[in-house]
Amino acid sequence: MSVSRTFIDSNILLYLYTEDEKRKEFVMSLMTSDYTISTQVVNENVNVSLKKLKLVKKKLIIMGEPSLKHLLLSIFINQL
For residues 38-54, average pLDDT: 83
Whole-prediction pTM: 0.60
Do residues 8 and 37 lie in contact, with contact meaning Cβ atoms separated by under 8 Å?
yes
CA-based torsion, 18, 25, 38, 74: positive or negative: positive
Mean pLDDT, rounded, for 15-37: 82
Distance of CA 47 to the CA centre of its chain: 13
pLDDT of 76 over the 80 cut: no
What is the rounded distance in angstroms from the CA atom of residue 52 to the CA atom of residue 37?
21
Whether the predicted pLDDT of 1 surpasses 60: no
Residue 54 predicted with pLDDT over 60: yes
Task: Tell me how far apart the terminal alpha carbons of the chain are, to the nearest angstrom.
Answer: 18
